[in-house]
């Protein structure tokens, strides 16, 4: 007779296996397979700037064809910048020197400035300590006021608040290039990003590789093709439909030679289900309820041509 403990163990094994299978299917849903894929040119291995839409650091690339040449290692910290016992910089060195001089003077019979003895020497020593601390406090205030200005940290212009009917970028004219936007992304560019989001989701759901090839780089199309082929091998189809942009904004835009890049954070809703190819039965997802997704998409255009998708990163 099978014991209760053996039945419990068997049920646990079956449950774990089922969870792993379903988790694998769900993790590979949507274009990009739910992982960070693609290339961002020379910034492929650097994290895009956070935005109000995607405030967390985007996950690094898990699939990319861009070689990692590596970043130079930082050099040794200069000795003058290393913190001492009383902190680094001019004020710390001043305080250390004065206290050291005072202690040496006390050891050899004099105070900080000499000439005192007994109780008067003690009070004089304390008075000098107070004066020195006051000078250090004033020096610290002076150096803090002269410190560097804060780096630019403002978010890019809002990309969208509603779906395709909304005016991306608020209908504002093309802005002048700035620290975060070195290209000058305008309303027409934002509209192109939103169209690409909707059309790529729909083409992926139809398994229309030809349409994907018009909307994305060859590298991204290869990833899409592999994901679709894996779905076929499992006997499922990833039905993706009804994509609608809810909010988006620019993380950064830059130029490399004749190629422009733009990385945007996008929060969108989409119906995302897996269907059994033979029976049409839904095996994962809700066909009646869209899910909300936040991702970071990078687009590129060559020689002033159309924007195409070059990378998808998961938002933290």
| Predicted TM-score (pTM) of this structure | 0.63
Specify which of 81-90, 96-105, 269-278 reaches the highest per-range mean pLDDT: 269-278
Residue 174 pLDDT > 60: no
- Cβ proximity of 301 and 253 under 8 Å: no
pLDDT greater at residue 154 or residue 119: 119
pLDDT at 178: 67
Q: Delimit the domains of the chain by residue range.
A: 28-52+155-314, 85-144
Q: Which fold has domain 28-52+155-314?
A: Nuclear Transport Factor 2; Chain: A, (3.10.450)
Residue 158 pLDDT > 60: no
> Judging by DSSP bridges, how do beta strands 259-276 and 236-256 pair with one another?
antiparallel
Residue 23 pLDDT > 80: no
Residue 268: name the closest of 218, 212, 209, 196 by CA: 196
pLDDT at 32: 79
- Cβ proximity of 250 and 51 under 8 Å: yes
Q: Which residues does residue 186 pair with via DSSP β-bridges, in sequence order?
A: none
C-alpha to C-alpha distance for 71 and 87, rounded to whole angstroms: 30
Residue 124 pLDDT > 70: no
pLDDT at 59: 96
The phi and psi torsions of 77 (rounded to 5 degrees) equal -70, 130
The phi and psi torsions of 141 (rounded to 5 degrees) equal -60, -40
Residue 160: name the closest of 171, 146, 150 by CA: 171
pLDDT greater at residue 250 or residue 8: 250
Confidence of residue 122 (pLDDT cuts 50, 70, 90): low
pLDDT tens digits, residue range 137-147?
676 666 454 44
pLDDT tens digits, residue range 191-232?
999 999 999 999 999 999 999 999 999 999 999 999 999 999
pLDDT at 316: 79
Quote the DSSP letter at residue 63: B
pLDDT greater at residue 19 or residue 117: 117
pLDDT greater at residue 165 or residue 257: 257
């Amino acid at each position: 007779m099978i014991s209760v403990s053996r039945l419990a163990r068997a049920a646990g094994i079956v449950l774990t296996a089922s969870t792993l299978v379903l988790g694998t299917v769900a993790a590979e849903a949507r274009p990009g397979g739910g992982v960070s894929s693609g290339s961002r040119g020379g910034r492929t291995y650097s994290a895009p700037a956070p935005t109000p839409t995607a405030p967390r650091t985007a996950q690094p690339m898990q699939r990319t064809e861009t070689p990692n040449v590596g970043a130079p290692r930082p050099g040794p910290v200069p000795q003058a910048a290393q913190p001492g016992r009383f902190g680094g910089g001019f004020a710390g060195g001043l305080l250390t020197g004065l206290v050291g001089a005072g202690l040496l003077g006390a050891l050899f019979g004099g105070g900080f400035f000499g000439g005192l003895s007994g109780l008067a020497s003690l009070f004089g020593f304390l008075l000098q300590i107070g004066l020195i601390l006051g000078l250090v406090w004033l020096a610290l205030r002076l150096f803090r006021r002269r410190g560097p200005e804060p780096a630019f940290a403002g978010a890019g212009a809002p990309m969208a608040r509603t779906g395709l009917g909304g005016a991306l970028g608020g209908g504002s004219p093309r802005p002048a290039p700035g620290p975060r936007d070195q290209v000058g992304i305008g309303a027409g560019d934002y509209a192109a990003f939103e169209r690409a989001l909707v059309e790529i989701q729909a083409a992926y759901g139809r398994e229309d590789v030809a349409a994907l090839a018009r909307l994305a780089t060859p590298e991204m199309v290869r990833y899409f093709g592999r994901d679709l082929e894996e779905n076929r091998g499992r006997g499922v189809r990833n039905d993706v439909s009804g994509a609608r942009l809810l909010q988006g904004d620019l993380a950064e835009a830059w130029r490399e030679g004749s190629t422009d890049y733009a990385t945007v954070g996008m929060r969108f809703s989409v119906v995302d289900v897996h269907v059994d190819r033979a029976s049409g039965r839904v095996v994962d997802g809700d066909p009646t309820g869209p899910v909300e997704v936040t991702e970071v998409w990078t687009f590129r255009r060559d020689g002033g041509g159309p924007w195409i998708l070059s990378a998808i990163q998961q938002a933290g």
